[in-house]
A = this chain, B = another copy of it.
Amino acid sequence: MWFAPIPENLPATVPFVGPEAQERRRGAPYTARIGANENGFGPSPRAIEAMAREAAEIWKYGDSDNHELRHALATHHGCDPDCIMVGEGIDALLGLTVRLMVAPGDVVITSDGAYPTFNYHVAGFGGDLVKLPYRDDREDLAALLDQAAERQARLVYFANPDNPMGSWHEGSEIAARLDQIPQGCLLILDEAYAEFAPDSALPVIDPADRRVIRMRTFSKAYGMAGARIGYAIGAPDLIAGFDRIRNHFGVNRIAQAGALAALKDAAWLEHIRQRVDAARARIGRIAAGNGLSALPSATNFVAIDCGRDGAFARAVLADLDRAGVFVRMPGVAPLDRCIRVSCAPEAELDAFAAALPQALKAAGRA
């Protein structure tokens, strides 16, 4: 045996193949990069300026406490700075949360078709992952928590709004279910898309509530996916636990400066929300114009129901790819009847609109 037992038995896998890797495979760049829910409207010009300025200071390690950003986030959320941990994007924070909570063989609950990177981390630390079906294209929080109690789970993953379907729950529904979280179990509430959702979709939860950890990011509404910076909100003793295992100097100094500037530019965030609203509506019209229905979305992407099975949707996706349009789709049935299109500037949606009729035809629709 070469590796330690857990990694030795892991497959060599990657949760997502990135668009650059796909461009290398297909031998040409994409015309439209609308598959990874990146925010093509871009970050605040002030954030770009702050990042460009910080480039000359990159010889210094970043502040290991992320002090300034953490305090600004605490003010933003009206909570204590001790309730906030900044990390290298939600992906890294999910990995650390799994490592903090899950011993080999411990049960973790998620939805079948939900965020694959979370599943990757659970496998990576030897957790026993239980997947429950979506219900009406939404993650089924009641069922997830029932199963958590039955299986004595350590973690439940729940995204609101949901990726890949774009669906959501009302915040009041979520808050009302917190008492069903079993003792010794932590609910991960992934709110990567929170800034795109209606206010009523965001539950009011005491940050000091030890049963829940919320995940937020600068990758989506703030348009900084490549910066790798996000944060967790939770009880101080849970948040302090990250200090036992995190890579203390892991956050990029330019990302720290950019996130701080982005957070302060509320007007840009509002501008982004309006652009995303308009793009969501346009994706809906493109779908309808092709006889397809777009699912309601509280995110910066739209799941388009292609009206048949996964094989059909995969064929549509393959032809869009051939035409230079990068789109992704859910991995499992029945979600995989859909393709998932990210909100983006007009030119990219033009390319999608132009390619879709042919893709549906190529996939075999009469």
- B39 & A48 in contact (Cβ 8 Å cutoff): no
Q: Is A266 an interface residue (CB 8 A)?
A: no
Q: Which of A74-92 contact B (CB under 8 A)?
A: 88-89, 91-92
How many angstroms from the CA of A303 to the CA of B10 in the assembled complex? 43
Known contacts A52-B55, A59-B38, A61-B38; A91 and B245 CB within 8 A of each other: no
List B contacts of A58 (CB < 8 A): 43, 48, 51, 223-227, 258
List B contacts of A226 (CB < 8 A): 54, 57-62, 252-254
- A2 & B237 in contact (Cβ 8 Å cutoff): yes
Q: Is A13 an interface residue (CB 8 A)?
A: yes
- A48 & B38 in contact (Cβ 8 Å cutoff): no
List B contacts of A48 (CB < 8 A): 55-56, 58
- A7 & B241 in contact (Cβ 8 Å cutoff): yes
Q: Is A311 an interface residue (CB 8 A)?
A: no
Q: Which of B41, B219, B227 contacts A254 (CB 8 A)?
A: B227
Known contacts A16-B248, A52-B55; A103 and B6 CB within 8 A of each other: yes
List B contacts of A296 (CB < 8 A): none
Q: Is A243 an interface residue (CB 8 A)?
A: yes
- B244 & A13 in contact (Cβ 8 Å cutoff): yes
Task: Specify how many copies of this chain sit in the oligomer.
Answer: 2
List B contacts of A245 (CB < 8 A): 7, 10, 124
List B contacts of A216 (CB < 8 A): none
How many angstroms from the CA of A56 to the CA of B48 in the assembled complex? 6
Q: How far is the CB of A33 from chain B (nearest CB, A)?
A: 7
List B contacts of A225 (CB < 8 A): 58-61
Q: How far is the CB of A43 from chain B (nearest CB, A)?
A: 6
- B243 & A92 in contact (Cβ 8 Å cutoff): no
Q: Is A192 an interface residue (CB 8 A)?
A: no
How many angstroms from the CA of A95 to the CA of B246 in the assembled complex? 10
List B contacts of A171 (CB < 8 A): none
Known contacts A241-B3, A251-B228, A253-B226; A39 and B67 CB within 8 A of each other: no
Report A25-61 CB contacts with B as 1/0, cut-off 8 Å: 0000000010010111111000010011011111111
How many angstroms from the CA of A331 to the CA of B199 in the assembled complex? 51
Q: Is A232 an interface residue (CB 8 A)?
A: no
Q: Is A364 an interface residue (CB 8 A)?
A: no
List B contacts of A184 (CB < 8 A): 1
Known contacts A4-B106, A103-B4, A124-B244; A21 and B59 CB within 8 A of each other: no
- B88 & A60 in contact (Cβ 8 Å cutoff): no
List B contacts of A337 (CB < 8 A): none
- A14 & B248 in contact (Cβ 8 Å cutoff): yes
How many angstroms from the CA of A57 to the CA of B24 in the assembled complex? 19
How many angstroms from the CA of A258 to the CA of B58 in the assembled complex? 10
Q: Which of A7, A52, A56, A247 has the most CB of B within 10 A?
A: A247
- B243 & A63 in contact (Cβ 8 Å cutoff): no
List B contacts of A95 (CB < 8 A): 247
How many angstroms from the CA of A101 to the CA of B5 in the assembled complex? 9
- A67 & B20 in contact (Cβ 8 Å cutoff): yes
**Closest 3 pairs (CB-CB, A-B):** A226-B253, A51-B55, A52-B52
19 A–B contacts, CB within 8 A, in A order: A2-B238, A3-B241, A4-B154, A7-B100, A11-B244, A14-B64, A16-B64, A36-B61, A41-B59, A43-B58, A52-B52, A55-B258, A58-B226, A61-B226, A89-B250, A226-B253, A228-B251, A252-B252, A252-B254
